Each structure stands twice: as C-alpha cells, then as structure tokens.
Amino acid sequence: MKSGFITLIGRPNVGKSTLVNQLVGQKVAIVSDRPQTTRTTIRGVRTTEASQIVFVDTPGLHRPRTLLGERTNERARSTLGEVDVVCVVVEANAKFGPGDRFVASLAHDVDTPAILVVNKTDAARSDAIFDHLAVAAEELGEFDAYVPLSALTGDGVAALVEELEGRLPEGPQYFPDGMVTDQPETFLAAELVREQLLQVAREELPHSIAVTVEEMDDDPAHPRRDDLLRLAVTIRVERDSQKGIVIGRGGEVLKTACSNARQELEALLGTRIHMETRVRVDRDWQRRAQALDRLGFDRS
C-alpha cells in the first residue's frame, strides 16, 4: 500500500475545504462563502485498496488583523515541512494576486513535491482555463504538476488523486477502514454549529463567533444512554450586540442553527444527539492570547 499526508494551502475562500470533502467522499470540514472560515488544520482520510491519503485542510493564508489570524497563518505554514506533497490551491476564475504568489513561494521554499490545483473550473470557460494555466507557470513558478478541477462538481478530482498516489511512498495504513477524519465528535459538533450560525446569522463576521462543545457528564437526572450523545454547546461572541444577533428574535436563529447542526451530526455519527446551548460574551477573545489558548487556538 502507498500512504502519506497531503496538505492543501491557499488564500481564503479558494475552496480547500470543499475539495477535501470531495476527495474524502463525505463532509469532514465545514464550508462557507465567508473568508477564513477554517481556523485549524483538519484531517480527512481517503482509503482504497491501493492507498491511504490523509489530507490536511489548512486555514486560508491572509494578512492577519488579529492574534487569531496570526496563529491560523502559523498553523497553515507549519504543515509544509511535515507532509509528502503540498497542494497549492488557486482559482480558475480569478487573476493571480499577491496572495497567490506569496502562497506559491511558501511551497517553493520547502523540499517537498508541489502540485498547483486550479479550482473552480466550473465557473470559468475552457479556453480561459488553459490561458490561466499558462499564466500560472509564469507568475507562480514551476510545479511538479498542474491540475485543473472543480471541487464543487468533482470534475478533475480523479486526475488529482492519480497525481498524488504517484508521489506517495509505500507505507502503513495510518487509519482503520471506514475512518474519514481524526477529529473528535465534540470538534465536529462545534464546527457544524458554527457553520450553521454563519449561514443563519449572516450579519456577523466569521471570527466574531467561537463555538466549543463538551460531552456532558452523567448525572442522576440524565443517566447515560448508548443511543444518545449529550453535548453542552457554548457560543462565544465579542460584543453584547452580537449575542442578540446569534440568539435572534424569540431565539429563532439559535434554534434553527443548532437544529440543523444536530440533524447533520446525527447523520454523520449514526446516533441521536441532545444539545444544550448557551451564548456568552467573551470580549475581544480573538485578540487575547489567554482566550485563544483556552479555546484551543494555541501555537502548537
């Protein structure tokens, strides 16, 4: 068997998370049209008889305006020297800018095979895609391969998998059959709640909301049941005005977001979910090192 780790890097909103979900074959990373939705590295696992590929979805590299932004950038960059292949993801329907050139330079700075993935071909004309590839070779430097594809439709994804498998070493199967991510249930729940809040409470910026989830301990009033996972969900915002938006009139926003997240989580885990939620104000949490450490956004 061939096996290895692949990291995907790129500017915010180029479609890395959508591509990881497409490669894995099911949802392991939340997606949103808001930049910088992904805040930490997320692993998705694709296993076949011939290979096991572990994809590392990273936060979009950007010019940070907060301490959280600095730390998400650090997490994305730290993966480059720890994988077998680097995939630099750019858009087929947008001109290359300073951000694309910066990301490409990071890939060229490490001694790791690099593939340029030109995503969103479904939103570009076929003749424009070929022109885009020619410009990419000039502006972004030489890569080991250039793969145009659509993470949304799946067109071209098989060609990327073939390129990746050809560059993987022989190795062990790191994860058992059927495992598609190494993220714990509480992390998946938190991400799904945050994704739904971004969709429902669209007035707010993604980084003004943080979600943490803990499995609730047994207590006499709620004994543990094998068919029910009980979760305590805490949603943090930075200002009192944001708290009102997250809750919504009559609690409708929070109720809708958590209900949608619960249904999706139940489908993923194959068990019933009970969520107890609360919203609290944690002022300027994304700018305070202590708050980031507590929420899991440390420098590791």
Given a cut of 60, is residue 24 above it in pLDDT?
yes
On whether the CB atoms of residues 278 and 231 are closer than 8 A, the answer is no
User: What is the distance between the alpha carbons of residues 109 and 292, in angstroms, rounded to a whole number?
Assistant: 29
Query: Alpha carbon 276 to chain centroid distance?
Result: 25
Q: Which residue reads 């070493």 in tokens?
A: 169
pLDDT tens digit string along 7-23?
898 888 899 889 999 99
- Angle formed by the axes of helices 240-247 and 252-269, nearest 10°: 60
pLDDT tens digit string along 168-179?
999 999 999 988
Indicate the SS3 state at residue 8. Answer: strand
Work out the pLDDT band at 149, boundaries 50, 70, 90.
Answer: very high
On whether the CB atoms of residues 55 and 8 are closer than 8 A, the answer is yes
Given a cut of 80, is residue 61 above it in pLDDT?
no
Residue type, 136: A
User: What is the distance between the alpha carbons of residues 47 and 240, in angstroms, rounded to a whole number?
Assistant: 46
pTM for this structure? 0.75
**Which domains occur in the chain, in start order?**
2-165 (3.40.50.300), 185-294 (3.30.300.20)
Q: Which residue reads 């909103």 in tokens?
A: 13
